[in-house]
Amino acid sequence: MKTSKNSENEHVNLEQGILYGVLKQIRANEDQISEKPTLVSVWYCDINPKDTQKIVALIRDHLTDPDPVSLTHIKRFMKVNECIRSILCSLEYIDEGKLINLIHEHCPGVEIRSVGLIEVPRYAPQTKDITQAWSSKYWPLAWKGNPNHQFLNTVEFDISREEEIVSTLLDELEQCIKKSKDSSDCSGVSATLIAENINDSIKLKTIHANTGSKTPYDHSVMKAISSIANNELHRRKHSSQEDGEGYLCHNMIVYTTHEPCVMCCMALVHSRIGRLVYLQGTPPTGGLESNYQLGDRDGLNWKFQIWKWIGQNEVHRLESLVGKESKAINY
Amino acid sequence: MSSDLSGHFHDMALSMFVAYKALLFNETPVACIVKNTKTGEVTSIGYNYTNTSLNGTQHAEFIAMQRFKDQDVNYKDLVVYVTVEPCIMCASFLRQLGIGKVYYGCGNDRFGGTGTVLSVHDDPNLGEGRYESIGGIMRTEGIQLLRNFYIQENESAPQPKIKKNKEIETKEFPRNEFKFSEDQFIENYGKERIPLYNDGVKELTPVFGKGYSVHDLIDISSVKALPYLEQELGEITQDQLNEFCDLFFNIHDNGEINYDKPIRKYNAKKRHLEE
């Protein structure tokens, strides 16, 4: 095996996309990469070239960190006729009125010739060729080398905590199998846990199992998503203080025993989760490695990190509960 | 060779009205009705319920089918008329249930799971349950309902953002592209309509060579007869039905859209329609 010069981190295997020896990245491969990007609306303004430095400071100090959309792959400035057009921030972050107030407040004297919205690729393109194609079609983008290698080198997990949560998930599955009447038939048994990262610590929010029902109503991912929604409804009804409103499963972390089916994967896209961890693949009906790579597809309006847990202890424990991978069952 | 499509237009118009009721309820105007082909009876309705439930999976198809959860029903006998092509999630859901067939109004460019983005309904790799999903009946009405929802979002924002998008009374429709085979087109819509398949501009009509307006398709008694609708989304009045019909252009005899007809748009703030 080639040793990559980039492997400055010992726990990172760039070639195979494996972290800590237990989390394997599942992502679209080259021929599944779409030429069509996921787009996001961003604010631009046209200014006199002499004011460029003031706008640079505005973006750096006030519009980068609080913006929920990362624009590091976007070149910020482009010459348009006699003006400089600058990408300021996403529409998700701020509306036009607030943006104009910010500009007036922090850049007094800067003459804003126009402000408007354009659509740019939301995520960094995966290859240099696509970078060039999208740059000419949408807006100039920066190519800083393979973005996935950069991602793998910078992403960090508290791996003992991850292990703990996977064990909790398997405990739940084991309990449910014991409780169910016919414990000899474990096909279709699955469990899903949803957690949230709050102040750098991962808190469990809900856990659900499907004890072998064959109908799509009962998939554990769908049940877990519903329970997050119902809890939030309940919270809004009974809490008077405004401590931030939950929005779907925004950036939550989902741990599930099996590669979710196509329906469940798209439900996770609609619910805007941040990261998914699963243990067993489910050909032929799964919606990730088995089909479509939903969750890592340009063109849909949301992506999330997908990891397959390959730690042997947990994988063997799951196999002892439900059998080995590659049964043709719907989960 | 079903050349008279009046029955399908009637059923799709019912779905469109359910979608309008959802819009009045601050939901995205996408809806469906479910018809049992054995009895001809409408046995369920569904509408987008994501805003109220805070649950991004509560699409029209889920609301409609969940009602059968504890019933003994043969899903093969059920046909869904949905105003917008099912998304990837719903396409898979319907396939796992074993649905008989889907008719949809307009395509779903962002998430369409039965031909536009993916073809989950007939992908041979996904095991059992392949079904037919046929679009184009009341395509422009399906789009216009969504436009009425999106302008409302913009108008309720503190400062309207994109002015040009608000002028939906004159805005033209994207090309009419059918996302299924020519054979399926002929089988479902009849041989005489085949010039439409690649035309791009003309729309389907209930009777070939004759235009229509939404007024002609449904009346107050047919929408009042829909199960669950009034209990869940409130009383239906003749005024509401008229306002609904006034949202849409009519279609000429040759299938072209009559952009000259003055139409209304829905204004959430005023809670009524404005000219």
Give residue-wise pLDDT tens across range A178-218. 887 665 666 678 999 999 999 889 999 999 999 888 889 99
For position A292, what pLDDT does the model report? 94
Q: Please, which residues have CB within 8 angstroms of residue A299's CB and are 6 or more apart in sequence?
A: A34, A36, A37, A38, B117
**Chain-chain contact of B87 with A266 (C-beta, under 8 angstroms):** yes
Fold of B5-153+165-270: Cytidine Deaminase; domain 2 (3.40.140)
Q: Would you call B69 an interface residue with chain A, using a CB distance cutoff of 8 Å?
A: yes
What is the dotted CATH code of the domain comprising A39-122? 3.30.70
DSSP B172-232: PPPP----S-HHHHHHHH-GGGGGGTTTSS----SSTT--B-GGGT--HHHHHTSSSHHHH
Provide ipTM, 2 decimals: 0.93
For residue B257, give Cα distances in angstroms to A128, B32, B203: 44, 24, 7
B contact residues 123-142, partner A, Cβ 8 Å cutoff: 123, 125-127
**Which residue in the block uniquely carries the two structure tokens 């999976």?**
B57
Please list every residue in chain A whose beta carbon sits closer than 8 Å to the beta carbon of residue B54: 229, 232-233, 246, 248
For position A331, what pLDDT does the model report? 43
Size of interface A-B (CB pairs under 8 A): 90
B262: its two tokens: 């003055």
In chain A, what is the straight-line distance between the N-terminal and C-terminal CA atoms, in Å?
36
Residues of chain A short of pLDDT 50, as ranges, are 1-7, 328-331
For position A6, what pLDDT does the model report? 46
- CATH number (3.40.140.10, 3.10.20.30, 3.20.20.70, 3.30.70.2860) of A157-322 reads 3.40.140.10
d(CA A25, CA B45) in angstroms, rounded, equals: 41
pTM of structure: 0.86
Length of chain A measured in residues: 331
Beta strand ranges found along chain A (DSSP E) = 12-13, 18-19, 23-25, 39-47, 77-80, 83-90, 112-121, 189-198, 201-211, 253-258, 275-280, 305-309
For position B99, what pLDDT does the model report? 98
**Which residue in the block uniquely carries the two structure tokens 């057009």?**
A85
Please list every residue in chain B whose beta carbon sits closer than 8 Å to the beta carbon of residue A261: 92, 96
- Start and end residues for every CATH 3.30.70 domain found in chain A: 39-122
**Chain-chain contact of A229 with B117 (C-beta, under 8 angstroms):** no
Interstrand relation of B101-106 and B132-135 (parallel, antiparallel or unpaired)? parallel
d(CA A295, CA A284) in angstroms, rounded, equals: 17
d(CA A156, CA A147) in angstroms, rounded, equals: 16
The residues pairing with B78 across neighbouring beta strands, listed in sequence order, are B36
**Chain-chain contact of A96 with B161 (C-beta, under 8 angstroms):** yes
**Chain-chain contact of A95 with B158 (C-beta, under 8 angstroms):** yes
Residues of chain B short of pLDDT 50, as ranges, are 1, 156-164, 272-275
For position A144, what pLDDT does the model report? 85
> Phi/psi class of residue A46: alpha, beta or left (left: φ > 0; alpha: ψ in -120 to 50)?
beta
- Start and end residues for every CATH 3.40.140.10 domain found in chain A: 157-322
For position A7, what pLDDT does the model report? 46
Q: Would you call B24 an interface residue with chain A, using a CB distance cutoff of 8 Å?
A: no
| CB burial of residue B105 (10 Å; 0-12, 13-18, 19+) | buried
Length of chain B measured in residues: 275
d(CA B74, CA B92) in angstroms, rounded, equals: 17
